[in-house]
Structure 1
Amino acid sequence: MKLYVDSQGQLIVQDSMGNQWINVRPVRLFPLSQPDRWISLIDSAGREIVCIDDPAQLGQSQKNVLIGELERREFVPIVKRIISVSGNSEPCQWQVETDRGLTSF
């Protein structure tokens, strides 16, 4: 199996027979209890292509591609500070400082 990202930023999976899947999504099957194991690669139709039980067994370049795609997909900013919350009723506007900068929602 070969993993790579194409020029359009899509994850591609190629098996040993030369079959390719485009726009593949990696999904952690047990994100809380085993975040570094059991990663499923899902095709654009939502079907599992392969399940990787231990990514540490991949070659370094393949592992780097997989980890990079997981990080990109699982982007979650960390709120460091709440600057303000407008109003006492819903919906309200929050202004916060995250590890990625200022934002509001």
Structure 2
Amino acid sequence: MQIDFTLSRNAFGRLVLTDAAGVAHEGVVPVRAFPIGAPDDGLALVSTEGHELAWLDRLDVLPADMRALVKEELAAREFMPEVARIAGVTTYATPSTWTVETNRGTADFVLKGEEDIRRLGPQTLLITDSHGIHFLIRDLGQLDKPSRKILDRFL
């Protein structure tokens, strides 16, 4: 795949895509096509107006320096802790406050309703808290038995 653009950061830390014609697009945002199922496959670089400026089949087609910039940008805008264990819930009726252990530490959040737990696949769940933050359970089979028992009460 031919890369006909460059990526850099401006003085304000915003991502800048300079296309083959030499036009600089400031404030470019990388958007994953499949952020959970295939995070490194299918990535668009989008302008502040929402127009796709470039499409990448895979993130690894970029040179190392540009790939690092894209990964930094993604890390800054994507916040989706992965749940390793459910420590407890205040009640089995909603709304309820959940205490979970994630890859980013312990967190408490409010689950407004059972509909805020969505299945993304046979073993993958996405839980949205009352503030719109998404918590990912990548593999139900990896959770301990008490955590699965709590989840079963809500599914």
Common topology (TM > 0.5): yes
TM-score when normalising by structure 1: 0.80
State the SS of the aligned residue for 2:16.
strand
Residue 68 of structure 1 deviates from its aligned partner by 2.6
Provide the residue aligned with 1:24 in structure 2: 28
Q: Which runs of 5+ in 2 are unaligned?
A: 110-155
Bigger radius of gyration, 1 or 2?
Answer: 2
Provide the residue aligned with 2:19 in structure 1: 15
Provide the residue aligned with 2:103 in structure 1: 99
Provide the residue aligned with 1:88 in structure 2: 92
Counterpart selection for 2:52 from 27, 45, 48: 48
Aligned in 2, Cα 1:46/1:97: closer, same or farther, shift over 3 Å? same
State the SS of the aligned residue for 2:60.
helix
- In structure 2, how many angstroms separate the alpha carbons of the residues matched to 1:93 and 1:54? 38
- In structure 1, how many angstroms separate the alpha carbons of the residues matched to 2:82 and 2:58? 27
Residue 92 of structure 1 deviates from its aligned partner by 0.5
1:2 and 2:15 are equivalent in the alignment: no
Deviations 1:31-71 (A, max 9, x none): 42x54333111111111111123433322111221233233
Give 1 or 2: higher helix fraction.
2
Provide the residue aligned with 1:38 in structure 2: 42
Residue 85 of structure 1 deviates from its aligned partner by 0.3
State the SS of the aligned residue for 1:44.
coil
* RMSD of Structure 2 on Structure 1 (CA): 2.0
Aligned in 2, Cα 1:97/1:28: closer, same or farther, shift over 3 Å? same
Aligned in 2, Cα 1:30/1:92: closer, same or farther, shift over 3 Å? closer
TM-score when normalising by structure 2: 0.57
Mean Cα deviation higher: 90-99 or 59-68: 59-68
Between the aligned residues of both structures, percent identity stands at 35
Q: Which runs of 5+ in 1 are unaligned?
A: none
**Structure 1 runs of 4+ with >6 Å offset:** none
Query: Paired residues, what number?
Result: 104
